[in-house]
Amino acid sequence: MGFDIVRDLPPALHDRAAIWTYLRGFAESWGTPLGADDGAPEAELAEAGQRLGLRLPAAVREAYALLGRRPDLHSNFHTLLSPDELTVEHGAVIFREENQGAARWGVLLDDLDQEDPPVHVWEDLADKYLELWEPWLDRFSVAVLDIVLSESAQGPEELCDFRDLRAGEDDELARRLTLLPFPAEYQTFYVAPGVLVADGGGDVLCVRARDPETLDRFRAEFPGNWLNA
């Protein structure tokens, strides 16, 4: 039985090893399979821990070992930092940066004793006194899953496209497409045959297709001012 992006997600969410299996299936089915050289070597992760004076949690090391060298899966828009770029700021290990530097994602130092710790986000605000770590997702492995699905919808022009989300279009998407049961209130994913749609609760609709022909069909079914059309 082959990979199914909807069917295989709920059982994967119960176990981080199952999430890594899900991501392998996604990479193979929707792009390029993960290979042995696509992960960050253990030596780089150990060196990062020594440089920072801490031990990275198991889920962090496993994620980097799986896909740390595959920017097509994790860094098309925002950036997953490489092991030598990891830093400690405001009491957390920073592992991801927003594309314009307006936000950072991290694991709190107080949570480093957990194998699969929660992830928090720090947004840069005009009033610096209001800046603080806000909860993002309750497990690092789930955060990586979110990152891969979101960033995959920001990939190559021949497979991805973007346009403004029209008022009320969320209801149309929910009616015509299949909701991916992802456990995050801020992020909604929809699926159609050969298509992944990401709606992050903002004003932009992001679409990833398995091939250019499927993307063309989706744009025809949901017309608008598509950026790459």
Q: Write out pLDDT tens, residues 163-186.
A: 998 888 888 999 999 999 998 777
18-32, 106-120, 158-172: which range is least confident on average?
A: 158-172
> How much is the mean pLDDT over the chain?
94
Q: What span, in angstroms and rounded, lies between the C-alpha atoms of 190 and 206?
A: 10
pLDDT of residue 41 exceeding 80 = yes
Q: What is the mean pLDDT of residues 11-30?
A: 96
In the prediction, which pLDDT does 57 show?
A: 98
Q: What is the mean pLDDT of residues 211-229?
A: 95
143 — pLDDT class (breaks 50, 70, 90): very high
The residue type of 147 is I
pLDDT of residue 130 exceeding 80 = no
State the CATH class of domain 153-221: alpha beta
pTM: 0.94
The burial class, CB within 10 Å (0-12 / 13-18 / 19+), for 83 is buried
pLDDT of residue 62 exceeding 70 = yes
198 vs 125, residue with greater confidence: 198
Q: Confirm whether 9-148 and 153-221 share one CATH topology.
A: no
Q: What is the mean pLDDT of residues 94-117?
A: 96
User: What does the block give as tokens for 75?
Assistant: 């860094």
DSSP code per residue over 109-158: GGGTTSSS--EEEEE--SSGGG--EEEEES-HHHHHHHHHHHHHTT--TT
User: What does the block give as tokens for 210?
Assistant: 């398995």
In the prediction, which pLDDT does 147 show?
A: 97
3-state secondary structure 157-191: CCCEEEEECCCCHHHHHHHHCEEECCCCCCCEEEE
pLDDT of residue 200 exceeding 70 = no
pLDDT of residue 202 exceeding 70 = no
Q: What are the structural domain ranges in the chain?
A: 9-148, 153-221
In the prediction, which pLDDT does 33 show?
A: 97
Superfamily grouping for domain 9-148:
SMI1/KNR4-like (3.40.1580.10)
Q: What is the mean pLDDT of residues 29-34?
A: 95
pLDDT of residue 38 exceeding 90 = yes
